[in-house]
Structure 1
């Protein structure tokens, strides 16, 4: 990790240097190429990657990771140690419990609630308003 004038740099698993800045509302790390409004809370230990878009009023807790080009709607709660995979789409008012894993390109409809440790397979869909208690949601 290297710190340079308000920026933090890491080398990712592909050997690329990625840049982050501390988010003003919480201090978590946000790519300068992400769209994260001022009213979103990103706590220390949470990351938002390049191309990600997060709707107003959302909260990312420690260990929350919003991957490249993922989109979160308004007022989404991302609990501890959650990974939202690349290109995933999360609707408004969704609650993601601790340890949830959302696969690449998966879709979680508005008002859905995923309890702790749920895994959503790449490309799978969770219906709007659905409560998911099972450990794995697979693509149809």
Structure 2
């Protein structure tokens, strides 16, 4: 995707207001790779991204992600891990990504519902108010069935 990430600030504000209060728990870095592996497999995917430490100079963020790796801080909220997994699931190894677009949001909502028990139906009105577009039919861009 070229151009600006038009929904980024709206998505971040929505998360702070709606998602973060429901998931204050912190995941230690050591637990992240097993969690990523399990979630990846439960979503019907193979070859999960590698979990790496976020560089010390990255002081303004808790994590970032691509299809091949998630870079995480020493501990982070569970919803942040799900956010980064949604990025990995909506990016290709070549670097094509939906950023914070409708496909990303559709996959992210699926993860929030499944792992934080936040029903999509209850989140949709707040997303509409926030002006965030969602593709409810979104799936990871590289679905590779295990069978």
What is the TM-score of this pair, normalised by structure 1?
0.29
Which structure shows the bigger proportion of residues in strand conformation?
A: 1
Which structure shows the bigger proportion of residues in helix conformation?
A: 2
What is the TM-score of this pair, normalised by structure 2?
0.28
* Higher RCO by CA contacts (8 Å cutoff, separation 6 or greater): 2
